[in-house]
Amino acid sequence: MEIIHVSAECYPVAKAGGLGDVVGALPKYQTKLGHIAKVIMPMYRTKFLYNNEWELVHEGGQALGSQHFHYSVIKEKSNKLGFDLYLVDINGLLDREKIYGYDDDTERFMSFQIAVCDWLSKWSHRPDVIHCHDHHTGMIPFMLKYCYGFNHLANIPTVFTVHNAQYQGWMGWDKSHYLPPWDTWKGGLIEWGSSINPLAAAVKNSWKVTTVSNSYLDELKYMSNGLEKLFEYEKGKSSGILNGIDNEVWDPQNDNLIAKNYDIEEVGKGKRKNKKELCGQFGLDIDKPLIVFIGRLVGEKAADLLPESISSSIYQHHGNANFLILGSGEPEVEGSLEHLKDQFKGYMNTYIGYSEPLSHLMYAGADFLLMPSRVEPCGLNQMYALRYGTVPMVRSTGGLKDTVTDFGDYQGFGIRFNNADVWDITYSVGRAIDLYNNKKELYGWMRNYMMTLDHSWDSSANQYISLYQSLK
């Protein structure tokens, strides 16, 4: 089959979170299964762009409302990622360093989607499926059906994956003229709550909808930032397919971003060397259990609870655990964490920012990975932690519930808690300290056991293929 993935992120080209990891890995595994998988994404000005060679494959022009724009499509020459990668360049809109966070994000992603549809409409053949990811590509299924310039592509099946329903790309009806000429009788198919809602449009118009875990699919029906009724209504065409991880990128045996490589035989020694490096860099005590957090410092991840939970844990458990936080996000949370680091020198430290190398070293060197998320569609961090022999401490929600069991349960290998609050986190820290200090054998067994679990894309990539095949 020929599968076209359209996304705002793809690792290692541009990544802000899990979406990048998924779109960087799934096409690679689909290619390994014998299919042709291609990724189309915006051409941001990232390192990957400058460090690789490209060929121009198409140039075109379209309109965004009353503004005409020119776009070009370039292709990476050497198949470096294991699949065909195409970048769409639109000067003045997509040529930025960051992926998101600009005032004109609506215009940027609308023009990107228009360019993608226009380019696809010029192909001499039809792909078997167009797979769109998150709201930045959510208007495509509608445009292919109801924009007059593209609707000769209406019989190409579309699949839409919801990686995160918190962000929906809302825009006012005053921006409806951004759409290329379309059948205005179909306005209801892009609307939700009296504005244009690209996520809702994708759910309404794509042939199939998937979410990145089964539990998240259930949760969306009662907690999806206003779209609950829509997810309930469209449940017939929706299914959950758990994300996998890229076992080649995330491999403690071959990871060149960590201090010491290790396999299951040497996990104890290997992790200790990495922990030593980490503790050395951040002034922490190698003999105490090290609990880390890696992620966006936002409400969804319950990052606002971290400062109080860390201080409460340090006081209640007499400083018997160390903490290290890597992330960036809400300024108040960043500020409180920075403040705490001076107060609890030697007990906690932070790195405010984004660092791929540090994240790898933390998965390898930490003893526990904390994820108190309020919302977690799938969550990849816990799966990376498992692969590196780091015990996940997670709130029972979404994909965390589907991938981590509690050590108190039969053959459990993690720590689970129910509420995103300071009390539950502090209590879980106590359980982690006890496990680490007093149940060394169990801790060792858990670590070895979880490293044998297979969370690679092999099985999920196949599930997507079956889904596409059902649309033929």
Q: Decide: helix, strand or coil at residue 228.
A: helix
Q: Do 364 and 252 meet the contact criterion of CB atoms below 8 Å apart?
A: yes
Residue 138 is a binding residue for ligand ADP (CB under 6 A): no
Residue 366 Cβ vs ligand ADP, minimum distance, rounded to whole Å = 12
Among 327, 365, 389, 414, binds ligand ADP (CB under 6 A): 327
SS3 content of the chain, % helix, strand, coil (to 5): 40, 20, 35
Q: Do 291 and 432 meet the contact criterion of CB atoms below 8 Å apart?
A: yes
- Which is closer to ligand ADP, CB of 17 or CB of 392? 17
Residues 6+ apart with CB under 8 A from 56: 72, 73, 74
Residue 240 is a binding residue for ligand ADP (CB under 6 A): no
- Which is closer to ligand ADP, CB of 284 or CB of 294? 294
Give the pair of three-digit tokens for residue 344: 């609890």
Residue 326 is a binding residue for ligand ADP (CB under 6 A): yes
| Region binding ligand ADP by CB under 6 A among candidate stretches 152-160, 288-296, 332-340, 457-465 | 288-296
Q: How far is CA 336 from CA 26, 227, 290, 426, in A?
A: 37, 33, 20, 18
- Which is closer to ligand ADP, CB of 109 or CB of 250? 250
Residue 18 is a binding residue for ligand ADP (CB under 6 A): yes
Q: Decide: helix, strand or coil at residue 238.
A: strand
Binding residues among 332-371 for ligand ADP as defined by CB under 6 A = 354-356, 359
Residue 454 is a binding residue for ligand ADP (CB under 6 A): no
- Which is closer to ligand ADP, CB of 205 or CB of 382? 382
Q: For the chain, give the number of residues.
A: 472
- Which is closer to ligand ADP, CB of 62 or CB of 274? 274
Q: How far is CA 437 from CA 113, 310, 322, 373, in A?
A: 54, 19, 13, 26
Query: Which contacts (CB < 8 Å, 24+ apart) does range 121-125 have?
Result: 121/149, 121/150, 121/152, 121/153, 122/58, 122/60
- Which is closer to ligand ADP, CB of 245 or CB of 422? 245
Residue 380 Cβ vs ligand ADP, minimum distance, rounded to whole Å = 4
Residue 328 is a binding residue for ligand ADP (CB under 6 A): yes
Residue 17 Cβ vs ligand ADP, minimum distance, rounded to whole Å = 3
Binding site for ligand ADP (CB under 6 A): 17-19, 21, 164, 294-296, 326-328, 354-356, 359, 378-381
